[in-house]
């Protein structure tokens, strides 16, 4: 993905970089798929004095380059577009700095951010785009559009398609469709076992070596190994996978669920009692989290726990991190925005796996996000057809469509709810997932890839699933009053969504 000649100027934004803490009013100039300049000292409204050296972590290493003082005093259409570069060697920096100064308005596209925040494109390491096999729920094209509309510039697709992603051929097919859709950096996680049947190891080596977008960005053909939708309950086989993953530099992403303890659409608690169901105890999740942490400790593989929902799991992961184990975790917006009571209101649209839990679990998940026990927010975007979800709470499939509500629900719940600051939220949704993926993204800095979201955090709006680009309209958040509307998304310098 690269922008055509002329470049792109994003004017009048509040530019925030979660890594350096930069939070300044001003402009960003993009050319050749890269951010060429960010608001420097004196350039943007928030800059003061000439001492504002802009720390610019480039893809290959952090290089601090003082804000170029050659601007024309902060007037004119390109006032903030100062030439600051930081991609490796000084010579490169100089070259980029020269290119960064727009020569004129001809051919240059301008987006007026109108005071909205200009932040790193969001990164979601857990989505289901359903192709191949279930294109009535979603396909790679519609899923990519939903991602762009949600402010996302990178996603990682789970392998539970039909056929499953268990060999290089299926992987390559998805990769080609992702490139074709051209809206997001589409990464893929490979299945641990053939057909995710839990018996025979998948073709892990071939997938790890495949020439995919993930290879270009992260140095491996797949981002991770997972059986998502379920865990690999055969512990001996799980250990073999863990050892292979370690050897290949892949992380394990695990859907922690002991199926001997689960199966119901709701957790054990108030809602299950009212509905007359057995419910799913928190131990169904915690039991496998405990096992996975033990495997990470013994084998030394990178273990990432998916969609953490229970208080007990948060405590186990916190302990593992304190002990220095290579364990990371994600949660999804519904686990910190809702409790099991949502099932009583939204029925099957609030049915997901793991299930929504009690208020104390919700608060524990928030605490985990705040103190870093939970590293990232993923959506677990799981679109389904209308008729499937209309089959009722017991028969409907698990999951909700999440990409187009991810930021607004997170911002409204966590930041406006007073639990964390905006910078931390942005880190949980961009910088930190980039770090887990080994992806040089998630930053706003000169020399960095131009993956950007422009979001109006002041505009209140009502979420309406009928507006979704996703084929999946299944969400309990339709009707919610939220703030944090995505106005535009730019991936690799290309505008992939403009609202």
Q: How far is the CB of 160 from Zn ion (least distance, A)?
A: 7
Q: Which is nearer to Zn ion, 226 or 339 (CB)?
A: 226
Asked if 249 and 224 touch (Cβ cutoff 8 Å), the reply is: no
Q: How many chain residues interact with Zn ion (CB under 5 A)? A: 2
User: In this chain, which of 27, 375, 380, 456 binds Zn ion, going by CB under 5 A?
Assistant: 380
Q: Which is nearer to Zn ion, 25 or 253 (CB)?
A: 253
Q: Which is nearer to Zn ion, 131 or 228 (CB)?
A: 228
Q: How far is the CB of 233 from Zn ion (least distance, A)?
A: 17
Report the C-alpha gap between 84 and 481 in whole angstroms: 40
Q: Which is nearer to Zn ion, 354 or 447 (CB)?
A: 354
Q: Which is nearer to Zn ion, 100 or 229 (CB)?
A: 229
Q: Which is nearer to Zn ion, 398 or 461 (CB)?
A: 398
> Exactly one of 27, 264, 287, 380 is catalytic; which is it?
380
Q: Which is nearer to Zn ion, 20 or 160 (CB)?
A: 160
Active-site annotation holds for 380: yes
Q: How far is the CB of 410 from Zn ion (least distance, A)?
A: 17
Q: How far is the CB of 353 from Zn ion (least distance, A)?
A: 8
Q: Which is nearer to Zn ion, 158 or 261 (CB)?
A: 158
Where does this chain touch Zn ion (CB under 5 A) — which range of 93-101, 163-171, 203-211, 220-228? 220-228
Report the C-alpha gap between 187 and 189 in whole angstroms: 7
How many CA atoms, within 13 angstroms, populate the side-chain half-sphere of residue 98?
Answer: 5
Where does this chain touch Zn ion (CB under 5 A) — which range of 6-14, 168-176, 280-288, 375-383? 375-383
Where does this chain touch Zn ion (CB under 5 A) — which range of 145-153, 224-232, 274-282, 455-463? 224-232
Q: How far is the CB of 307 from Zn ion (least distance, A)?
A: 7
What is the rounded end-to-end Cα distance, in angstroms, of the chain?
21
Torsion of CA 293, 262, 379, 340, to 10 degrees: -120
Q: How far is the CB of 228 from Zn ion (least distance, A)?
A: 5
Instruction: Provide φ and ψ at 133, rounded to 5°.
Output: 115, -35
Of residues 301 through 340, those in contact with Zn ion by CB under 5 A are: none
Q: What is the CA radius of gyration of the chain?
A: 22
- State CA 342 to chain mean position distance: 24
**Sequence-ordered list of residues with C-beta below 8 angstroms from that of 73, at least 6 positions apart, any chain:** 79
Q: How far is the CB of 464 from Zn ion (least distance, A)?
A: 24
Q: SS3 string of the chain?
A: CCCCCCCEEEEEEEEECCCCCCEEEEEEEEECCEEEECCCCCCCCCCCCCCCCEEEEECCEEEEECCCCCCCCCCCCCCCCCCCCCCCCHHHHHHHHHHHCCCCCCCCEEEECCCCEEEECEEEEEECCCCCCCCCCCCHHHHHHHHHHCCEEEEEECCCCCCCCCCHHHHHHHHHHHHHHCCCEEEECEECEHHHCCCCECCHHHHHHCCCHHHHHHCCCCCEEECCCCCCCCHHHHHHHHHHHHHHCCEEEECCCCCCCCCCCCECCHHHHHHCCCCECCHHHHHHHHHHHHHHHHHCCEEEECCCCCHHHHHHHHHHHHCCCCEEEEECHHHHHCCCHHHHHHHHHHCCCCCCCCHHHHHHHHHHHHHCCCCEECCCECCCCHHHHCCCCCCCCCCECCCCCHHHHHHHHHHCCCCCCHHHHHHHHHHHHHHHHCCCCCCCCCCCECCEEEEEEEEEEECCHHHCCCCCCCCCCCCCEEEEEEEEEEECCEEEEEC
Q: Which is nearer to Zn ion, 312 or 380 (CB)?
A: 380
Query: Taking CB under 5 A as the rule, does residue 361 contact Zn ion?
Result: no
Where does this chain touch Zn ion (CB under 5 A) — which range of 60-68, 83-91, 222-230, 419-427? 222-230
Q: How far is the CB of 158 from Zn ion (least distance, A)?
A: 5
Q: How far is the CB of 381 from Zn ion (least distance, A)?
A: 8
Q: How far is the CB of 348 from Zn ion (least distance, A)?
A: 17
User: In this chain, which of 138, 175, 228, 361 binds Zn ion, going by CB under 5 A?
Assistant: 228
Of residues 51 through 110, those in contact with Zn ion by CB under 5 A are: none
Q: Which is nearer to Zn ion, 29 or 152 (CB)?
A: 152
β-sheet bridge partners, residue 190: 225
The catalytic residues are 380
Contacts with Zn ion, residue ranges (CB under 5 A): 228, 380
């Amino acid at each position: 993905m690269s922008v055509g000649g002329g470049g792109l100027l994003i004017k009048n934004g509040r530019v925030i970089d979660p890594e350096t803490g930069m939070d300044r009013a001003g402009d960003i100039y993009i050319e050749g798929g890269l951010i060429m300049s960010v608001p420097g000292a004196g350039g943007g409204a928030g800059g003061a004095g000439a001492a504002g050296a802009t720390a610019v972590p480039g893809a290959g290493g952090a290089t601090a380059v003082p804000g170029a003082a050659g601007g024309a005093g902060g007037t004119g259409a390109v006032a903030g577009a100062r030439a600051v570069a930081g991609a490796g060697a000084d010579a490169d920096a100089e070259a980029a700095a020269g290119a960064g100064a727009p020569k004129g308005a001809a051919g240059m596209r301008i987006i007026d951010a109108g005071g909205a925040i200009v932040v790193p494109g969001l990164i979601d390491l857990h989505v289901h785009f359903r192709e191949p096999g279930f294109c009535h729920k979603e396909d790679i094209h519609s899923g990519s559009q939903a991602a762009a509309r949600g402010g996302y510039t990178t996603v990682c697709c789970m392998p539970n398609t039909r056929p499953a992603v268990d060999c290089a051929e299926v992987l390559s097919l998805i990769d080609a469709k992702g490139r074709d859709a051209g809206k997001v950096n589409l990464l893929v996680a490979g299945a641990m076992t053939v057909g995710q049947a839990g018996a025979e190891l998948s073709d892990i080596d071939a997938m790890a070596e495949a020439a995919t977008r993930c290879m270009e960005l992260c140095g491996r053909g797949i981002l991770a190994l997972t059986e998502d939708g379920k865990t690999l309950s055969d512990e001996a086989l799980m250990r073999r996978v863990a050892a292979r993953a370690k050897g290949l530099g892949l992380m394990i992403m695990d859907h922690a669920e002991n199926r001997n303890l689960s199966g119901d659409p709701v957790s054990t608690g108030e809602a299950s009692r009212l509905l007359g169901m057995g419910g799913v105890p928190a131990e169904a999740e915690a039991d496998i989290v405990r096992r996975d942490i033990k495997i990470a400790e013994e084998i030394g593989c990178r273990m990432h726990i998916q969609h953490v929902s229970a208080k007990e799991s948060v405590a186990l992961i916190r302990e593992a991190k304190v002990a220095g184990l290579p364990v990371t975790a994600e949660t999804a917006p519904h686990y910190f925005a809702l409790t099991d009571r949502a099932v009583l209101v939204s029925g099957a649209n609030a049915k997901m796996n793991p299930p929504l839990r009690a208020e104390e679990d919700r608060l524990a998940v928030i605490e985990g996000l705040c103190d870093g026990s939970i590293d990232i927010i993923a959506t677990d975007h799981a679109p389904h057809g209308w008729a499937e979800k209309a089959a009722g709470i017991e028969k409907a499939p698990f999951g909700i469509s999440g990409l187009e509500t991810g930021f607004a629900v997170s911002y409204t719940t966590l930041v406006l709810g007073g639990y964390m600051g905006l910078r931390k939220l942005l880190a949980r949704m961009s910088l930190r997932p980039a770090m887990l993926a080994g992806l040089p993204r998630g930053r706003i800095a000169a020399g960095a890839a131009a993956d950007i979201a422009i979001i109006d955090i002041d505009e209140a709006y009502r979420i309406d699933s009928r507006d979704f680009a996703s084929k999946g309209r299944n969400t309990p958040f339709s009707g919610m009053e939220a703030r944090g509307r995505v106005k535009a998304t730019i991936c690799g310098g290309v505008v992939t969504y403009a609202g």
